[in-house]
Amino acid sequence: MFEHVTHAPPDAIFGLSEAFRKDPNPDKINLGAGVYKDEDGRTPVLDCVKQAEARLLATEPSKSYLPIDGASAYGVAVRELIFGADHEVVTERRAVTAHNPGGTGALRVAADLMKHVRPDVNVWLSEPTWPNHPQIFEAVGLEMKSYPYFDEDSNDLAFERMIRALGQVRANDVVLLHGCCHNPTGVDPTIEEWARIGDVLAERGAVPLLDFAYQGLASGVREDPVGIRALCERVPELMVCSSFSKNFGLYAERVGALTVVAASEERAQAVCSQVKRLVRANYSNPPVHGSAIVTTVLGDAGLSEQWLGELKQMRERIHHMRQLFASELDRRGVMLSAEGNDFIARQRGMFSFSGLDRLQVARLRDEHSIYIVGSGRLNVAGMTESNMPRLCDAIAAVTSAS
Ligand SMILES: Cc1ncc(COP(=O)(O)O)c(C=O)c1O
């Protein structure tokens, strides 16, 4: 069976982390994978998580299987986080949630669902997008198309071009949008732009699929779903893939969720039954620990407040690093775009889409042991006051010589 098997290429992002681990340079810097680091370069366990875990250790009654779609309290917590408890999709019970292993698991289950209920849909992806998106949809055999998203001249949203492309979408096609903190560009639509996107999708009869991996890392937990809520006002059906890897720091616990909004409670329940069949034939049911942490924190007023505070600290540290990065580049006379480096501070979320080209990225790795994704995406959350001078010196070196 395996005689003809050749090596697959390493993953665009995890492959970088492997190369980083093997690099013997003590001053190496990893700005590849989207993992938050604190000022000391560590990825800490949040205090609210530690406290929730201590409670769980003391009180957890059993490790028996969860239901196929996870614990119902987790589903309630996820929906309230996205929509708010009073939102009509919640009160009308038009939304159902399945707990999946990570945001990636949620996207994969969404892809399986789409393939199952509408095998000939097109999935529209932003250009550029997270490199795992096309891999996930390819794995289930869905057709993909792309729409323009980023304007390289202005370092901003290519909004009019995006709207024109979305005007070509067929009825029932799925349009993948990043709920906030677009990866890799860090550029999100404004609330007015979200409304117009919603109008076009409603006109075309298309279904939005929101990848919501960074809730709380743009403006705040309550502010970040504005785009999703604007879409909800305009279309009867949509899907949201949440992840608690970044905002709770629960990367390795694999906590995500697929929430499907349907036109009626009856339709939502039917979809839920199909999701359960697909999950049962895949990983059967989800792992308990990470989701129990999230449910415990969100179900306790004190722990929730603490979480919001810890998340705010992460968000503010990243923003501070953005400003420092831009000013340190300025000081060295490095301009990452024709209009300077101000765009770096405008981008949202963990990443900066730096404009560095593939050759410069390769030189950063080979000559300076600085690891960033080939598209030029830098993980700002991996920058610290202490690695900043070395990083900016290296960028100055590779940009001046090219
Ligand atoms: C845009 C986007 N979607 C989804 C994910 C998946 O996250 P998870 O680790 O929860 O699978 C990530 C993680 O990097 C991401 O950047």
Q: What is the DSSP letter of 30?
A: E
Candidates 28, 37, 115, 246; catalytic one = 246
Which residue CA neighbors atom 2 of ligand 1 most closely?
213
pLDDT at position 44 is 92
For the CA of 255, the nearest atom of ligand 1: 10
From the CB of 104, is ligand 1 less than 6 Å away? yes
Crossing angle between the packed helical segments 132-139 and 102-117, to the nearest 10 degrees:
40
Do the beta carbons of residue 104 and residue 324 sit within 8 Å? no
Residue 248 has pLDDT above 90, yes or no: yes
Residue 401 has pLDDT above 60, yes or no: no
Q: Which long-range contacts (CB under 8 A, 24 or more apart) does 357-360 make?
A: 357/402, 359/402, 360/395, 360/398, 360/399, 360/402
pLDDT 10s digits, 307-327: 999 999 999 999 999 999 999
Separation of alpha carbons 290 and 95, rounded Å: 22
pLDDT 10s digits, 48-105: 999 999 999 999 989 999 999 999 999 999 999 999 999 999 999 999 999 999 999 9
Which DSSP string corresponds to 271-292? HHHHHHHHHHTTTSS--SHHHH
From the CB of 213, is ligand 1 less than 6 Å away? yes
Q: Where are the domains of the chain?
A: 14-45+303-400, 65-299
pLDDT (mean) for 41-45: 93
Q: Check if 23 is active-site.
A: no
For the CA of 34, the nearest atom of ligand 1: 14
Among 16, 133, 245, say which to mutate for ligand 1: greatest number of ligand atoms within 8 Å of CB: 245
pLDDT band with cut points at 50, 70 and 90 for residue 15: confident
- Higher pLDDT: 178 or 345? It is 178
From the CB of 354, is ligand 1 less than 6 Å away? no
Q: Check if 312 is active-site.
A: no
* Beta-strand runs (E) in 330-381: 351-353, 370-371, 377-379
CA of 109 to the centre of ligand 1 (A): 14
Domain topology for 65-299: Aspartate Aminotransferase; domain 2 (3.40.640)
Q: Check if 130 is active-site.
A: yes
SS3 241: strand
pLDDT 10s digits, 114-149: 999 999 999 999 999 999 999 999 999 999 999 999
HSE, side-chain direction, 13 A CA sphere, residue 381: 26
pLDDT at position 374 is 85
pLDDT 10s digits, 190-236: 999 999 999 999 999 999 999 999 999 999 999 999 999 999 999 99
pLDDT (mean) for 361-381: 93
* Beta-strand runs (E) in 64-128: 95-100, 122-127
pTM of the predicted protein model: 0.95
Candidates 28, 211, 224, 307; catalytic one = 211
Separation of alpha carbons 70 and 240, rounded Å: 16
Cβ-in-10-Å burial (0-12, 13-18, 19+) of 82 comes to buried
Q: Which residues pair with 242 in a beta bridge?
A: 212, 257
How high does pLDDT run on average in the chain? 95
Which DSSP string corresponds to 121-160? -EEEEEES--THHHHHHHHTT-EEEEEE-EETTTTEE-HH
pLDDT 10s digits, 144-176: 999 999 998 889 999 999 999 999 999 999 999
pLDDT at position 14 is 83
Q: Which amino acid is at 264?
A: S
For the CA of 244, the nearest atom of ligand 1: 10
From the CB of 248, is ligand 1 less than 6 Å away? no
Domain topology for 14-45+303-400: Aspartate Aminotransferase, domain 1 (3.90.1150)
